[in-house]
Amino acid sequence: MWWLLTGLPTAPPGQAGIARGEALRTALAAGAGVGAAVTLALSFRRQRHQEITTAHATHDATERRVTELYTKAAEQLGHDKAAVRLAGLYALERLAQDNPGHRQTIVNVICAYLRMPYTPPRSPGPQRSAPSTPGPWQVAAPADPDLAEGERQVRLTAQTILAEHLRDERPDQRASLPSQPRHWPGMRIDLTGATLIDLDLAEAHLAEAQFDGAIFTGDTSFNGAVFTGQAQFEGTTFTGDTWFFGATFTGGARFSRTTFTGEADFDGATFTLDAVFFRATFSGNARFSEATFTDHALFPEATFHGNAWFDEATFTEFARFDGATFTSDVVFDGVTVTDFTGSRMSRAEWTQIADHPDHVWPPGWHTVTCPDGSTGLARQESAAGEENGEDAATAPSIPPEEPAGTEEKPRE
């Protein structure tokens, strides 16, 4: 400021005061601009701080509200009245729909409810005698029919909520859906040991599925379902018909010691990694027509009481049926096989029906009698057998050395 007043060039008499006044006004204007800029910067920082504080307060309030609603809904699930439990389920569903970050937690809660011990009420009609007390992992259904039916409806509602939000909408349906889709992607479900009633998870997309030891009462549908992670069905019991038509297993599929009481339909299913059916029991018909096994297909010691169809199936890697029992018709017509070596059936029951005219084997394969008297499969033309002086029509198939980790060993 002093420089502006004293550093002016010499002005004619009478104009020096005017020049100093102009310089002073200029200096004041510049100072005012700087002050305004500083004030504006401080105001911006203060406003930004207030916005951050408000956002944090809003987030904290939202989280507190979510926690309160979640706690209340979870408490409702423990109520003795079915209507209150239903209200708790619907409250959890709405909470998950509006808060994507809490969806997996709420799915876990619903799955935990379904895992609770439960014995479905007996259906009307004659019943075979059964123990009067429930098993170690189940509780008896309520003696009051109304209470039993109420619990059944609660469980059916829990299953429906899961199914509706695990099912991915088709592209042609998304245009007519609300702005917030109902599909909850990337969900993992754990229904280990659960008792499930007429479960319908057709078209569901599951990041991971645990059903070990579960009991599926009634009919079950996984038609068109997509399992992007591991699918565990070990020790599972399906009491009715079961459909996996067109299902896709991107991760491994484990059906060891699983019991299919009704028909088991895997037509058109795709198994990208190992498909293991060790000691699985198919009481009804088993259908694997046009199924694709990209990795190992393992059916050791499986039992097929009904007809077994593998027609038009594709086995990219080797298939194993060691010790499998087939008591009815078996069809491998039109199968595409990369390596069927080792597909040997050593059960005595199999020997009795192996040459049945209704059985159809993969192209280029036929049954042979092994040295131990069992029946195996061999190629009709074997270059290796000719080189060793063996008859190609009688050379039994020799199982190749098992890659590490591909064959499941029996549990003690």
**Mean predicted confidence (pLDDT) in 34-53:** 76
Copy the structure tokens of residue 223.
């038609």
**Mean predicted confidence (pLDDT) in 203-222:** 97
Provide the sign of the torsion angle of the four alpha carbons 337, 250, 108, 203, taken in this order.
negative
Tell me: the pLDDT tens digits for 164-183? 999 986 555 444 545 568 99
Tell me: the pLDDT tens digits for 231-252? 999 999 999 999 999 999 999 9
**Mean predicted confidence (pLDDT) in 272-279:** 97
Distance of alpha carbon 326 from alpha carbon 304, whole angstroms: 5
**Residue 35: pLDDT above 60?**
yes
Q: Write the CB contacts of 66 (distance below 8 Å, at least 6 apart in sequence).
A: 95, 99, 102
pLDDT the model gives residue 135: 40
pLDDT the model gives residue 6: 57
Copy the structure tokens of residue 355.
């040459």
Mean pLDDT of the chain: 78
Q: Which of the four pLDDT bands, split at 50, 70 and 90, describes residue 37?
A: confident
Of 187 and 125, the structure prediction assigns the larger pLDDT to 187
pLDDT the model gives residue 75: 92
Given phi > 0 = left and psi -120 to 50 = alpha, else beta, which region is 21? Answer: alpha
Strand order across the beta sheet in which 242-243 lies = 220-221, 242-243, 264-265, 286-287, 308-309, 330-331
**Mean predicted confidence (pLDDT) in 127-142:** 42
Q: Do residues 76 and 84 touch, judged by C-beta distance below 8 A?
A: yes
**Mean predicted confidence (pLDDT) in 323-344:** 74
Distance of alpha carbon 185 from alpha carbon 210, whole angstroms: 17
**Residue 343: pLDDT above 90?**
no
pTM for the whole structure: 0.71
Could you tell me the end-to-end alpha-carbon distance of the chain, in angstroms, rounded to an integer?
96
Nearest to 269 by CA among 254, 295, 289, 299: 289
Copy the structure tokens of residue 262.
């009704």
Tell me: the pLDDT tens digits for 296-322? 999 999 999 999 999 999 999 888 888
Strand partners, 167: 204
Of 379 and 82, the structure prediction assigns the larger pLDDT to 82
pLDDT the model gives residue 325: 87
Tell me: the pLDDT tens digits for 66-121? 788 898 988 999 999 999 999 999 999 999 999 999 999 999 999 999 999 998 87
Q: Where are the domains of the chain?
A: 28-120+138-174, 191-412
Distance of alpha carbon 314 from alpha carbon 224, whole angstroms: 18
Distance of alpha carbon 293 from alpha carbon 298, whole angstroms: 10
Please state, for a pLDDT cut of 90, what percent of the chain lies above it: 48
Of 270 and 69, the structure prediction assigns the larger pLDDT to 270
Distance of alpha carbon 345 from alpha carbon 323, whole angstroms: 5
pLDDT the model gives residue 43: 78
